[in-house]
């Protein structure tokens, strides 16, 4: 007698979600490898290995697909950073580990190349620019409480304006990483990148510290559970 277990049939919702995930993954890969202009609907459909009918069912046009992919990129980035923060047990190393992991797992990857393609395209596409602006605002409402959940102002720093100071420090960090990522293919020098990251970490440690005993994820605002595109 055969002992092979019968195959479990997926529900329609599960099949639909799997199809959507394939399309989103293919979109991100296409943006990273072929650029925004080269990421046509037909090329994305071929890359995803799905039918044109399946694509139309989920996304009627390229813009809808691109915007959902951008949303997925931002959410994925937030989850990656959260996992990194929770994985660092030693608070004294949390900032250094966050800086290193953020570069290695986000900005030095095809994910950021895909996102940078969207940023460049949005300069000439007002609809895309408005959508990305709204997404970033919603992500910031999630990220800013997370910063305060894990970090605090360093001892001896003036208490007023703590929230603004921490926000400014991390804004500078994101700008530094974006600049390094956009030019990494030109100087092609990992040691230079590592030196810049170490320098920023030393500067940031003058004004901020990791909170002690934080072992839980930050509270998630209601904005995260709503669709990025209303």
Claim to verify: residue 144 and residue 219 sit in the same structural domain: yes
Report how far residue 104's alpha carbon sits from residue 109's, in angstroms, rounded to the nearest whole number.
7
CATH number at residue 207: 1.10.357
User: 207 in a domain, yes or no?
Assistant: yes
The tens-digit pLDDT sequence of the chain (230 residues) is 555 555 567 787 788 888 899 999 999 999 999 999 999 999 999 999 988 888 888 888 888 999 898 888 877 877 777 777 666 656 677 888 888 888 998 899 988 999 999 999 999 999 889 988 988 887 777 777 778 888 888 876 655 545 567 888 888 898 999 999 999 889 889 999 999 999 999 999 888 888 888 877 777 666 555 544 33
For residues 80 and 34, membership in a common domain is answered with no
In this structure, what CATH number is given to the domain that contains residue 23? 1.10.10
For 129-145, b/e burial (b = at least 16 CB within 10 A) is eebbeebeebbeebbbe
- Domain range holding 26? 13-60
DSSP code of residue 157: S
Kindly state whether residues 125 and 24 are assigned to the same domain: no
Residues 85 and 195 grouped into a single domain: yes
In a domain, 1, yes or no: no
Q: Which pLDDT does position 124 carry in this prediction?
A: 93
* Pair (171, 128) in one structural domain: yes
Task: Give residue 74's pLDDT.
Answer: 79
Number of domains in the chain: 2
pLDDT of residue 227: 46
Is residue 30 included in any domain, yes or no? yes
Structural contact between residues 92 and 210, judged by C-beta atoms closer than 8 angstroms: yes
pTM over 0.75: yes
Q: Tell whether 188 is covered by a domain.
A: yes
Asked if residue 164 and residue 76 are part of one domain, the reply reads: yes
Please name the residue that has the structure tokens 């420090």: 169
Specify the residue for token string 């660092």: 88
Q: Are 224 and 89 in contact (CB under 8 A)?
A: no
Instruction: Let me know whether 96 and 30 are in one domain.
Output: no
Predicted confidence at residue 55, as pLDDT, reads: 83
Q: What is the pLDDT of residue 229?
A: 36
* Cα–Cα distance measured from residue 121 to residue 66, given in angstroms and rounded to the nearest whole number: 11
Q: Is the dihedral of CA 125, 128, 133, 139 positive or negative?
A: negative
């Amino acid at each position: 007698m055969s002992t092979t277990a019968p195959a479990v049939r997926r529900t329609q919702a599960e099949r639909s979600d799997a199809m959507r995930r394939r399309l989103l993954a293919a979109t991100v890969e296409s943006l990273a490898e072929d650029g925004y202009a080269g990421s046509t609907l037909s090329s994305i459909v071929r890359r995803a290995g799905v039918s044109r009918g399946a694509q139309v069912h989920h996304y009627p046009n390229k813009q809808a697909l691109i915007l959902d992919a951008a949303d997925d990129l931002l959410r994925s980035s937030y989850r990656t950073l959260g996992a990194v923060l929770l994985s660092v047990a030693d608070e004294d190393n949390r900032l250094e580990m966050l800086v290193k992991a953020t570069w290695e797992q986000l900005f030095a990857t095809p994910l950021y190349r895909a996102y940078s393609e969207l940023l460049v395209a949005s300069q000439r596409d007002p609809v895309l620019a408005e959508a990305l602006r709204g997404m970033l605002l919603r992500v910031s409402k999630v990220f800013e409480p997370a910063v305060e959940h894990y970090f605090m102002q360093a001892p001896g720093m003036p208490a007023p304006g703590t929230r603004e100071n921490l926000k400014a420090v991390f804004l500078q960090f994101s700008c530094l990483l974006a600049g390094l990522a956009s030019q990494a293919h030109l100087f092609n020098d990992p040691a230079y990148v590592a030196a810049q990251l170490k320098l920023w970490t030393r500067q940031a440690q003058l004004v901020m510290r990791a909170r002690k005993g934080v072992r839980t994820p930050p509270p998630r605002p209601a904005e995260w559970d709503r669709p990025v595109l209303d």
